[in-house]
Chain A
């Protein structure tokens, strides 16, 4: 019955009051929901703006970092070139050092040889010096003895002459 009535009323464009109340309630809910969504939309927009700024800041930062990276890369490239140049020079120096070491070893060998020769010469010099000093001493002694012989002969000669003259007189 009730269903029939409702169909009848619906045919003339009417609806039961409960139904209208219900629809009104739904409408109010929908409106509240819309208001809420609008608020949410505002928040989302604000959040979006915020993120946009942060994105822009990040983009700016990234651009700066990119420039820095580019500069660093340049520096790295130059450093690499310098390093390679230094390595080349080092290798050249190492080669020079090895040649110098070889020469030093050769000179050391020569020096050792010369030192040995010098040591031998010094020993011979000392021996010679010792012999010379000894010879000098002997020579001095011989000179003194010769002096004595000479003066003694003179004394004897004088005595002999005196005696000879005395004998004649």
Chain B
């Protein structure tokens, strides 16, 4: 692995709560897979792991990864541990226990590389995405998307290699990204220049009452900002797990407003947002531990208002998506 400055910051968020099953299978294995693929292609990158609302009394996920993936932890991992008070202070919906996209904003805000890939810890990069990154074919002003192929539940972890991942027989879903938003499962793969993310001020932090649809809402903002959206040419893979939104949301079909992801039907395509300047907990006091882990301590000054209605705005419509049908 090269020690050159990272060309890509990969931002993921997680915590040690065994969400979706054993973290070794669900988090460590994909991180190792991506590390092997990117390293093989000589891609210098940093892995920003934002541990949001860590559970008191449990080891930090970054500490477990240091044992599980020492190479990754030593060379690439930049853990950011966010004080649990932020979840309590910022929540607008007590049923939503994890402000995933605020956590991702924390990582984006602190990314050091010229390109940022926002994804999830259980996502395995596809061949085309790795090619595009390794061959430096990316334009900083373009938002790259990849469809997420769900790999069947209970797949043998030793089957995490591209030939198996690319085999249609192992797929549950093979969605096709469709213009103009290319929004399907956007939270699993968003790649662009860091300046583009800063220009957009990250994901919606004004509407924090739901976790579902925030990625789609981000794509509405991307499109409204006139940023080209491009399919990177191939999928990323997600090994299905118990508790994932895709698997579990049917359990909430009778009470879609009360799911753990918030209201599944909020108007994420009809409105957009204007985050305050302090998005991504920019004003949170940071404390660096000797192993490089950054702790964001709680400070009310870093917390945006509970409600700021003027920051809910209407999206600029692109040609073809105007008011007229």
Query: What residues on A are CB-neighbors of B207 within 8 Å?
Result: 144, 147-148
The stretch that binds B, out of A46-54, A72-80, A90-98, A128-136, is A128-136
Query: What residues on A are CB-neighbors of B270 within 8 Å?
Result: 136-137, 140-141, 144
> With A155-B91, A155-B93 known to touch, is A144 a contact of B266 (CB < 8 Å)?
yes
Question: In the complex, how many angstroms separate the beta carbon of B309 from the nearest chain A beta carbon?
Answer: 5
Query: What residues on B are CB-neighbors of A133 within 8 Å?
Result: 323-324
Q: Is the CB of B323 within 8 A of A134?
A: yes
> Number of B interface residues, CB 8 Å?
21
* A111 interface hit (Cβ, 8 Å): no
Q: Is the CB of B92 within 8 A of A140?
A: no
| Residues of B291-325 contacting chain A, CB below 8 A | 306-307, 309, 312-314, 323-325
* A149 interface hit (Cβ, 8 Å): yes
> Number of A interface residues, CB 8 Å?
22
Q: Is the CB of B209 within 8 A of A148?
A: yes
Query: What residues on A are CB-neighbors of B94 within 8 Å?
Result: 154-155, 158
For chain A, what secondary structure do more than half of its interface residues adopt (helix, strand, loop), or is it mixed? helix
B317: nearest chain-A partner, CB-CB: A137
* A126 interface hit (Cβ, 8 Å): yes
Give Cα A138–Cα B314 distance, bound, in whole angstroms: 8
> With A140-B267, A144-B271, A148-B207 known to touch, is A155 a contact of B306 (CB < 8 Å)?
yes
B309: nearest chain-A partner, CB-CB: A145
Give Cα A134–Cα B322 distance, bound, in whole angstroms: 10
Q: Is the CB of B92 within 8 A of A148?
A: yes
Query: What residues on A are CB-neighbors of B307 within 8 Å?
Result: 148-149, 152
* A56 interface hit (Cβ, 8 Å): no
A157: nearest chain-B partner, CB-CB: B94
Query: What residues on B are CB-neighbors of A140 within 8 Å?
Result: 267, 270-271
Question: In the complex, how many angstroms separate the beta carbon of A143 from the nearest chain B beta carbon?
Answer: 6
Give Cα A30–Cα B222 distance, bound, in whole angstroms: 144
Which 8 pairs between the two chains have the least Cβ-Cβ distance?
Answer: A140-B270, A133-B323, A151-B209, A140-B267, A152-B307, A151-B92, A151-B93, A145-B309
